[in-house]
Amino acid sequence: MSTKAEEVSQETNKLTFRKYKPGDNKHVAWKDYIFQAGWSYKCPTYVHRTPPCQASCPSGEEIRGWLGIVRGMEKPPKGMDWQEYAFQRSTNANPFPSVMGRVCPAPCQTGCNRNVVEDYVGINAVEQFIGDTALEKGYKLAPAGEDTGKKVAIIGGGPAGLSAAYQLRRRGHACTIFDDHAKLGGMMLYGIPGYRTPREMLDGEIQRIIDMGVETRLNTRVGKDVSIETLEKEFDAVLWTIGCKSGRPLPVPGADAPNCVTGVDFLSEFNQQKKTSVPKRVVVVGGGDTSIDVASVARRLGYSSVAEDQVKDFGHDNAADGSQIGYVAHDAVEMSAREGAEVTLTSLFPIEEMTAAEHEVQDALREGVKIHGSSMPLEVILNDKGLATGLKMAKCTVDKKGVPTPIEGTEYVIETDLIVSAIGQYGNLEGLEELNNGRGFIDADPFYQVKGRPGHFVAGDIIRPHLLTTAIGQASIAADTIDRYLQKAELKKRPKVDVKHFNLLAKLNEAELAPEEFVPEGDLRGTSSAKYAVHNYEDRSSNEVIKHDALFLGHFPYEPRILREEIPVSADEVLGHFSERMKGLSEEQAQKEAKRCMSCGMCFECDNCVLYCPQTAVKRTPKKEATVGRYVYTEYSLCIGCHICADVCPTGYINMGLGE
């Protein structure tokens, strides 16, 4: 006769939901079970993740997607060539591929997994090819959406404002850009020299956005010519993208001298063709990209040796904000012979740690700019007329917070006729004081709404100065927020990986392979043969970034990066040299470079899984049903879970997860 306890034990052993059998209390490696020939705990599934290039891109471009189009992996829809298809995919996030392909410091390339093989993929170079080809062939941006009857005022016509106008027009909202300059472009036009952003390229990319039906009101300053209250009455939403047009002066005694100017003013004057030369000796304080641009421009402009009676006083009222910027008179200068200026750039950090792009630093050195690393300014030396004649410096160390400390006994003086401070920027909020957070910026919440002002939104440098690509990405998110606000729709939490992603369902629709409509009838316990579901596929792209250790790197042989042809400019040649310093890739080169992309987290149709499967369980999807992202499938009745397919997948697209 059995006891009650024995009866309970017997009933427990009959339960089928237990994961472990009684007595299983030791850890056993999963692989020891998986390599049993006839059964397995796991079978393959196809998991889409975000590649690190896209995760590193502040504007959120779907880089892997347009590289796949350039390389020929993803085919365009009928009636469209691959060049236009790549352009459309690229501009889904960033409407300035030609400009950004030239000037973006490319954090995407820093994040590229190919760095662990030999060298990153030349993403910028391929992007420039896409942008230049689009301008040459006259491609248009995605058309404006159906009119919603809503109007948005965009204050500032720089990269953030223009990008927001583009994204909002795609959603059907009317947009009006207000800008206090005669031309649109913002920092792309007034803050970057033309030899880095060729004006015909920039103008063409701006015009494409205007052609979508964007209204402009130029030479109009909001806060002076138009009040905030007027905007609120005329428009349904207001987006502030006014940038940071005020430079920070040096925080040292004597920095208010007339011939001490900011890098922002210097470049603005140059780009508006108001200044055509500099004094003989120029010191630029900075270390970032702006300081490099100032130093390089100064070397190109040069100076003119003019008799004293031909030189007017320093300090014309020609700066954009009306301040004195301290140049010699150029009506006299233009009559004199031009010579190379002595340009010195100083940085708190060592030269190899400067925040400017490394190739820009090397270009500046080659062009004759002297760079003093690990140096900090202490005082501006003035003459009896109150003009700067030198900058007292000292060698320094910098702590983890970026605070410099001078090294005692290392003081020295750089003699100079012009000091340019390129150490930071802030917004000019004159007339807009109610928006000022007290530090010259506008505060934003995570959705880029202006705190405490319903219907007001903000993007770009006026939040915090950063990269052009950052402003473009912020504008895209702000446009999405504005769209939801105008629809009175609830704001959804932004994804962990907040970039543009490949959308398999959209691709299936484009290829006319969309799943059938789901009809809830019959036996719904399995979907393996159903036509309303996408099988063997999981999308984790909004939450996960794939790392290099998830790839089969042995698949990729050494293949050097194809470099754009540089046009080096020596110190002897730099005077008056305002042509581009780099030639773009040819079509053949762009395609070859795109093929170096390892397509991290997405199948690129190499056939490894099909060829190496010992059970022929992995099969190609029939051509009539196949498209990008659905090239292979697994017949699970044949799969033994050996995970060879996952091991030989170069892109990390196959996971042994099904069945857990």
Say yes or no to pLDDT of 657 above 80. no
- Residue 4: the pLDDT is 44
Q: Annotate 108-138 with DSSP letters as a single string.
A: HHHH-GGGGTTS---HHHHHHHHHHHHHHHT
Per-residue pLDDT of 515-536, as tens digits, reads 888 777 776 666 667 777 777 7
> How far apart are alpha carbons 406 and 394 in whole angstroms?
6
pLDDT of residue 530: 74
Per-residue model confidence as pLDDT tens digits over 180-206: 999 999 999 999 999 999 999 999 999
Higher-pLDDT residue of 306 and 79 is: 79
Q: Where do the domains of the chain lie, and which CATH numbers do they carry?
A: 151-245+427-486 (3.50.50.60), 248-424 (3.50.50.60)
Q: Which of 550, 581, 549, 559 shows the shortest CA–CA distance to 568?
A: 581
- Exposure letters 127-152 (e unless 16+ CB within 10 A, then b): bbbbbbbbbeeebebeebeeeeebbb
pLDDT level of residue 143 (50, 70, 90 thresholds): very high
Average pLDDT estimate for 548-556? 93
Residue 450 has pLDDT above 70, yes or no: yes
Q: Note the pLDDT of residue 7.
A: 45
pLDDT attached to residue 534: 78
6-31 pLDDT tens trace: 444 444 444 444 445 566 666 666 55
pLDDT of residue 515: 85
Question: What is the tens place of the pLDDT at every residue in 568-581?
Answer: 899 999 999 999 98
Per-residue exposure over 53-82, b if at least 16 CB sit within 10 Å of its own CB, e if not? bbbbbbbbbbbbbbbbbbbebbebeeeeee
Q: Compute the distance between CA of residue 40 and CA of residue 614 in angstroms, rounded to an integer.
A: 15
Mean pLDDT of 603-624: 93
Residues 349-367 have pLDDT tens digits of 999 999 998 889 999 999 9
Residue 284 phi/psi, 5-degree rounding, is -115, 125
Q: How far apart are CA 384 and CA 558, in angstroms?
A: 64
Question: pLDDT (tens digit, 9 = 90+) per residue, 493-513?
Answer: 999 999 999 999 889 988 888
SS (H, E, C) 520-536: CCCCCCCCCCCCCCCCC
Average predicted confidence (pLDDT) for the chain: 89
pLDDT digits (tens, 9 = 90+) for 401-415: 889 999 999 999 999
Burial environment of residue 369 by CB neighbours within 10 A (0 to 12, 13 to 18, 19 or more) = buried
pLDDT at 318 over 60: no
**Cross-strand partners of 381:** 390
Q: How far apart are the first and last CA of the chain?
A: 40
| DSSP secondary structure of 492-509 | PPPPSS-S----HHHHHH
Show Cβ contacts of residue 12 under 8 Å, excluding neighbours closer than 6 positions.
22
Name the percent of the chain in helix, strand, coil, to the closest 5.
30, 15, 55
Share of the chain above pLDDT 70, in %: 87
Which of 274, 337, 353, 326 has the alpha carbon at shortest distance from 303?
337
* Residues 6 or more apart whose Cβ sits within 8 Å of residue 560: 118, 119
pLDDT above 60 (res 59): yes
d(CA 257, CA 629): 62
